Every structure is written in C-alpha cells, then in structure tokens.
Amino acid sequence: MSDCLFCKIAAGEIPSGKVYEDEVCYAFNDIAPQAPTHFLVIPKAHIASVAGISAENSTVVAHIFEVIARLTAQLGLNSYRVVSNIGEQAGQSVPHLHFHVLSGRDMTWPPG
C-alpha cells in the first residue's frame, strides 16, 4: 500500500532503527519504547493485521516468529513478551501486521 507507514519503513523510504532485515520481514526499534528492549517485526508484504492472515500468507507469520526467536537469542533475552494489537480499540495504530517484542522490565497481567 502506497500510503502505509510500515510499508514505507520496510521499503527504506522512511528511516528507522533497523534491527534485522531479510526478504520476508523487517525489524526495527519502536520510536516510543515501552520497555528497555522494544522492537517491532513486520512482514514486507502488506497485511493489515492478524485478521488478514490466511492460508495463502500464513507462512510469513511462521517466518516472523522464527526471526523473533533468533533475534531474542542473539540479544540474550530469555524472558520477553510478543504482542500484536488488532483493531483500533485494541490499540493498533498502524494498519499493517506487526509484532512488538518487549523485554527488560516486569510485564504485568492483564496488560492495559
């Protein structure tokens, strides 16, 4: 999508604090971190949210979780939270599938 913020970040049109990149996904530091470690992992292909995952595109999600496991291991994180908000009421502010990875502080439950 030409007007999608995260599509533009993944394409390199908007600067970001890149953490990781491959042909399928892009990871970057959150601009308003909620924990000492807080980065997002997004698919390069536009998917609006978890609600847009289908049999045709679900392999990208498996790949993203493999990347999250690899990155958190490389960063020495053995306790972390992975979050995806779906819809405005849940707190999704950018309509592009993304997974927040947060670590380095106590995470409360329930969140929010």
pLDDT tens column, 48-98: 999 999 999 999 999 999 999 999 999 999 999 999 999 999 999 999 999
Is 29 in a helix, a strand, or coil? Answer: strand
Cis omega (within 30 of 0) for bond into 110? yes
- Judged against a pLDDT cut of 90, whether residue 110 lies above it is answered with no
> Given pLDDT bands bounded at 50, 70 and 90, which one contains residue 2?
confident
- Judged against a pLDDT cut of 70, whether residue 112 lies above it is answered with no
> Given pLDDT bands bounded at 50, 70 and 90, which one contains residue 111?
confident
Residue 9 has a CB neighbour count (10 Å cut-off) of 20
How far, in Å, CA of 77 to CA of 103, rounded?
7
Active site members: 98
Which tokens belong to 1?
A: 């999508």
pTM of the model: 0.95
9-27 per-position pLDDT tens digit: 999 999 999 999 999 999 9
Whole-number mean pLDDT of the chain?
95
Listed residue (82, 100, 84) closest to 92, CA to CA:
84
DSSP 32: S
Residue 74 has a CB neighbour count (10 Å cut-off) of 10
How far, in Å, CA of 42 to CA of 50, rounded?
11
